[in-house]
């Protein structure tokens, strides 16, 4: 009887795609286990022997993130179209202020410190979600005249170029992921291919200018040179990650038994995938990869299922952005790309980026929730909606 009540409660309160809910919960549990293992030694050294410090902090953020998933999926996704323009307008001064006066770390000013709670915040997290939602809205509203250069293409390319360019001033990899997401959305939104080529040219110009006047030119060049260096020398972080992956073998050394977590910088954030493979082996690494690919599949599936263009474009854009970031993080860990500093969504220890990931997943669930509701409605009503 109790089990039936729990099942009924879950069905009543957790709407939308059940596969996506399952993926979110599984990744959250994996995150808690791996972050505790990877951060315990650091916490012991820096927090007077309190090995639970980072787990407690991260666990609290995971809980808040799950709450945001739930809240995000309860909001009708149509409202995100209205909110996205406001968020986009707010993002521009925030990005400029962060670039000029933000908190510096690793040679870049990407963060603003939130008073009272003493928590760092990356305006780029807000900006990229706002741009994706607003771009999906603009494309959906302009489907009837999508080939109109002045009315359709100019507003889209303006916002895409401006936001990606501002982010590239201090975070080139995030800007490139976001720009790729914009291209995908425009392709799905039936923007003519000639316009896409023009956007690529605009993106290259904005990116070059951003690198020239920004903070990441030397870092970007250095990382690319190291990646293509034939001398056999690799950066220390990459070297330790490779050793961790090699130690993992097929089945791994077991939960909490990583040796490289003591030597690998950013082992609980940027290089957490290497720790996952060391502790859970090739099998564990492939399982995590499968979860992200499944998330991408379920997110992109809404493009076909959605009765409205905006819902499909919104879900596709958010899903591609999250999973694209995950692919880059995992690719860096195994040596398929230069070091970027991208966290692994839902798994890496982080701050507000984890919260925006939760909201992003809530948006995907909101779209799938609306699609399921519409598919259960009168077909005539759906057709006339």
The domain tally of the chain equals 1
What per-residue confidence (pLDDT) applies to 380? 42
Q: Is 183 domain-assigned?
A: yes
Q: Give 41's contacts (C-beta < 8 A, 6+ positions apart).
A: 51, 261, 262
- 161 CB neighbour count, 10 Å cutoff: 18
Q: Is 336 domain-assigned?
A: yes
What per-residue confidence (pLDDT) applies to 315? 93
Name which of 335, 300, 301 is nearest 320 in CA terms: 300
What per-residue confidence (pLDDT) applies to 382? 39
Burial of 70 (0-12, 13-18, 19+ CB in 10 A): middle
Name which of 204, 214, 167 is nearest 183 in CA terms: 204
What per-residue confidence (pLDDT) applies to 381? 40
8 A C-beta contact, residue 272 and residue 34? yes
Both tokens assigned to 42: 């650091």
8 A C-beta contact, residue 124 and residue 92? no
Q: Is 12 domain-assigned?
A: no
Strand order in 119-121's β-sheet?
103-105, 108-114, 119-121
8 A C-beta contact, residue 260 and residue 247? yes
Element (H, E) at 166: helix 154-168
Name which of 167, 57, 135, 166 is nearest 316 in CA terms: 135
Q: Is 242 domain-assigned?
A: yes
**What is the bridge-based pairing of β-strands 119-121 and 103-105?**
unpaired
Q: Is 249 domain-assigned?
A: yes
Tokens 């009168």 — which residue?
A: 378
Q: Is 21 domain-assigned?
A: no
Q: Is 365 domain-assigned?
A: yes
Q: Is 24 domain-assigned?
A: no
Sign of the torsion angle spanned by Cα atoms 350, 352, 358, 361: negative
Predicted confidence pLDDT, tens digits, the chain (385 residues): 476 776 666 677 788 889 999 999 999 999 999 999 988 877 767 776 677 888 888 999 999 999 999 999 999 999 999 899 999 999 999 998 888 887 776 666 777 777 666 677 888 999 999 999 999 999 998 888 888 888 888 888 889 888 998 898 888 889 999 999 999 999 998 888 888 988 888 888 878 888 778 766 677 777 777 777 766 677 888 889 999 999 999 999 999 899 888 888 888 888 999 999 999 999 999 999 999 999 999 988 877 777 788 999 999 999 999 999 999 999 999 988 888 878 999 999 877 889 999 999 999 999 988 665 555 554 444 343 3
Give residue 109's domain range: 36-374
Q: Summarize the chain as % helix, strand, coil (round to 5).
A: 75, 5, 25
What per-residue confidence (pLDDT) applies to 8? 67
């Amino acid at each position: 009887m109790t089990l039936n009540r729990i099942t009924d409660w879950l069905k009543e309160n957790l709407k939308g795609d059940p596969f996506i809910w399952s993926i979110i919960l599984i990744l959250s549990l994996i995150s808690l286990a791996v972050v505790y293992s990877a951060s315990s030694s650091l916490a012991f050294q820096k927090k007077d022997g309190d090995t639970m410090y980072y787990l407690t902090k991260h666990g609290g953020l995971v809980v808040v993130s799950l709450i945001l998933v739930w809240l995000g999926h309860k909001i009708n996704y149509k409202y995100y179209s209205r909110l996205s323009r406001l968020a986009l307008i707010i993002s521009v001064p925030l990005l400029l202020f962060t670039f000029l006066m933000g908190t510096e770390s690793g040679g870049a000013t990407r963060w603003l410190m939130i008073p009272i709670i003493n928590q760092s915040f990356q305006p780029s997290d807000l900006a990229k979600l706002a741009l994706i939602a607003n771009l999906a809205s603009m494309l959906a509203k302009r489907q009837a005249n999508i080939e109109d250069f002045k009315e359709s293409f100019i507003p889209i390319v303006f916002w895409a170029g401006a936001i990606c360019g501002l982010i590239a001033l201090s975070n080139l990899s995030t800007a490139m992921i976001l720009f790729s997401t914009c291209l995908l959305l425009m392709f799905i939104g039936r923007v003519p291919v000639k316009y896409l080529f023009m956007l690529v040219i605009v993106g290259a110009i904005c990116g070059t200018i951003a690198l020239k006047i920004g903070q990441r030119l030397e870092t970007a060049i250095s990382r690319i040179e190291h990646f293509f260096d034939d001398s056999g020398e690799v950066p220390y972080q990459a070297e330790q990650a490779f050793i961790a992956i090699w130690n993992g073998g097929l089945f791994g050394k077991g939960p909490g038994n990583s040796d490289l977590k003591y030597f690998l910088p950013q082992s609980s954030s940027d290089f957490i995938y290497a720790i996952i493979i060391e502790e859970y082996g090739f099998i564990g690494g492939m399982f995590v990869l499968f979860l992200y690919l499944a998330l991408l599949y379920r997110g992109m599936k809404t493009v076909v299922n959605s009765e409205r263009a905006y819902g499909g474009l919104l879900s596709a854009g958010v899903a591609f952005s999250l999973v694209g970031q995950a692919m880059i993080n995992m690719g860096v860990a195994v040596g398929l790309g230069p070091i970027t500093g991208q966290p692994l969504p839902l798994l890496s220890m982080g701050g507000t980026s984890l919260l925006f990931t939760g909201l992003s997943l809530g948006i995907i669930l909101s779209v799938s929730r609306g699609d399921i509701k519409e598919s259960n409605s009168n077909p005539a009503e759906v057709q006339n909606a």
